[in-house]
A = this chain, B = another copy of it.
């Protein structure tokens, strides 16, 4: 009976009770020392070809695969990058994650993921686990601002002592990490201008939340442009209450039912495409025609945008590029502790038919 408890799979190989194969087994079978085996499996040059071959044969024969754990212990790292995001179900986060995973893999790194809902705090336990796992870096995605995530600033600060950190969020004095973000204020101004050009004067904003994900910046940009264009800034046009399709339904229902129909907005900007999706459903259900009775703009340019009816005009935030940059920065930071910085990407408005901009649509109606 072995002294230590072992997982059953470590004991069994074939039918006999047996230990996992280690570098010592290989060394013994090949008649060399463990140092030589290491040289062979890590591809160092100073090994005689015939020795190398002998070792390689044993490795293949035994199906030996060196323990990444033991390797990690030596140099205190894991070849793994941690990603924290609210929920992978949201396609925006899925895109970010997917792109990050690819980029990491291309560089021989793996991904460790943790979902933490937007409204949950980032507590010490998470940081502890990340530090404890000796991750090579951390990538935070989603609502990052202090107000919405209690303890986040402290968490990031602590984490930053152990590994490089990148976040998708506007730079923030208290956040001492690399920040990648979009200029959402300018993006919103762009959207408002787009609607203005198409003749809209009463424009609403739905979904999101003041605290999370920089809808502060969005709100600001939205209001700024309204003022710049001399448009009315009706407080009841600003409904912030969530991030999913249901929120969109609710927002529309509340917004429209609270106002006389003569005061209804003629266009709305949604926090994201999910919100827009819900809004479109509710609008249709209330008998409005899109885009004639109501124009709508989403955000994130999701895969389903071309397939809504009408196809949804949306803002592209380039999450794939952000993710790639994030991983690259984290990997670069392995070499030398970098100065924190921030990088802004332009957002682009992808015009489809939900605002009536493309000629085809109005004609169809």
Contacts and interface: CB of A to CB of B under 8 A. Distances in A.
**Chain A: interface size category:** 35 or more
A97 B101 CA distance: 14
A274 B167 CA distance: 31
A6 B76 contact: yes
Interface in A12-27: 12-14, 20
A20 B163 CA distance: 12
B101 A303 contact: no
A9 B162 contact: yes
Given A68-B134, A110-B133, A164 B9 contact: yes
Nearest to A69: B72
Interface of A: 4-10, 12-14, 20, 63, 65-70, 72-78, 80, 87-89, 91, 94-95, 97-98, 101-102, 105, 110-115, 128-129, 131-134, 136, 158, 161-164, 244-245, 274, 277-278, 280-281, 284, 303-304, 306-309, 333-337
27 contacts: A4-B74, A7-B75, A7-B76, A7-B77, A7-B136, A8-B334, A8-B337, A9-B164, A20-B76, A63-B161, A66-B132, A67-B76, A67-B132, A68-B132, A68-B133, A69-B76, A69-B134, A88-B98, A89-B91, A89-B94, A89-B98, A91-B94, A101-B114, A105-B114, A110-B133, A245-B303, A277-B307
Contact of A87 (B72, B74, B98): B98
Contact of A69 (B12, B73, B111, B112): B73
Contacts of A91: 89, 91, 94
A334 B6 CA distance: 9
Nearest to A77: B7
Contacts of A12: 161, 337
Contacts of A129: 68, 110
Contacts of A303: 89, 244-245, 274
Looking at A9, A87, A164, A304, which has the most chain B CB atoms within 10 Å of its CB? A9
A115 B102 contact: yes
A26 to B, nearest CB: 14
Contacts of A101: 88, 113-115
Given A69-B72, A111-B113, 9 more contacts: A12-B337, A63-B158, A63-B161, A69-B78, A88-B88, A89-B303, A101-B113, A102-B115, A110-B114
A101 B86 CA distance: 12
B10 A76 contact: yes
A278 B158 CA distance: 47
A9 B20 CA distance: 33
Nearest to A274: B303
A311 to B, nearest CB: 8
A101 B80 CA distance: 17
Contacts of A245: 303-304, 306-307
A245 to B, nearest CB: 6
Contacts of A112: 80, 110-112
Looking at A6, A281, A307, which has the most chain B CB atoms within 10 Å of its CB? A307
A4 to B, nearest CB: 7
A69 to B, nearest CB: 4
Contact of A278 (B65, B110, B307): B307
A32 to B, nearest CB: 21
A98 to B, nearest CB: 5
Contact of A337 (B9, B134, B162, B277): B9
Contacts of A308: 307-309
